[in-house]
Amino acid sequence: MPAPTKGARLGGSPAHQRLIMANLATQLFEHGRIVTTEAKAKRLRPLAEKLITKAKRGDIHSRRLVLMTVRDKGVVHTLFTEIAPSLADREGGYTRITKVGPRKGDNAPMALIELVQESVEDSRKANAKVAAPAKKAPAKKAAKSSSAAPAAPAAPVAPAAPVAADAKPEAEESPAEKLVEETGELEDATAADEQPSDDSVAEEAAVVNDDEATKPNDERS
């Protein structure tokens, strides 16, 4: 007895589910893409890829096996003569599922399932273009960090600036400040000249003592 598939069955019975999958596969091979629910698209994908693999063989036995599922002979002819040769370079991954958002009414998640039309080389080039920006971003970050690292030792040089700024005002003095300084120096010099020196005071005291010594005793009393 075959094991049941995971998830809810599509339709009311296994026979009904097989008919639904056969009709979806027929429409997919006829139009190249169809829009259906995500659940049906995920169930259709392995069936469609198995039919394409049989069509790539090209023999009569494979054609009869495909006709057991796809009853339209015109669609089977298109599958064997057009679709299978275009996918001869691929070893799998013949279909692509893209989510398209919820459906109006019941809000069911919808998806687009389509046959891959581009060649293997084009797919590789597209994947390389998508992966290239992701690799360049870490390189730019590393370059920024390396350029920022040498700038750190320049911090100790900053204290030298205030010293030069302080020295400039001392060298440049306004004429008013010079005049005030000169007048202050002159006042100090004149004050120093007016004050008697220690030697002159001592000489005056010696003269007074000599005068007192020469006076008669009567005058002293």
Instruction: For residue range 69-106, list pLDDT tens digits in order.
Output: 999 999 999 999 999 999 998 888 999 999 999 999 99
With 0-12 CB in 10 A as exposed, 13-18 as middle and 19+ as buried, what is 199? exposed
Nearest to 47 by CA among 68, 64, 25: 25
* Alpha carbon distances (Å) from 189 to 183, 184, 193, 199: 10, 9, 6, 19
φ and ψ of 182, to 5 deg: -65, -40
Region for residue 172 given its phi and psi (left: phi exceeds 0; alpha: psi -120 to 50; beta: otherwise): beta
Give the closest residue to 41 by CA, choosing from 62, 55, 27, 56: 27
Backbone angles phi, psi at 147, to 5 degrees: -70, -30
pLDDT given at position 168:
47
Would you give the DSSP letter of residue 150?
T
Asked whether 82 and 3 are in contact (CB, 8 A), the reply is: no
Burial class (CB in 10 A: 0-12, 13-18, 19+), 206: exposed
- Of 64, 81, 118, 76, which is closest to residue 96 (Cα–Cα)? 118
Question: Rounded CA gap, 61 and 125, in Å?
Answer: 37
pLDDT at 166: 46
Which stretches of the chain score pLDDT less than 50? Answer: 162-169, 171, 218-221
**Hunting for tokens 């971003």 — which residue is that?**
137
pLDDT at 6: 72
Give the pair of three-digit tokens for residue 59.
Answer: 């023999």
Q: What values do phi and psi take at 126, rounded to 5?
A: -65, -40
pLDDT in tens, 49-76: 999 999 999 999 999 999 999 999 999 9
pLDDT at residue number 165: 44
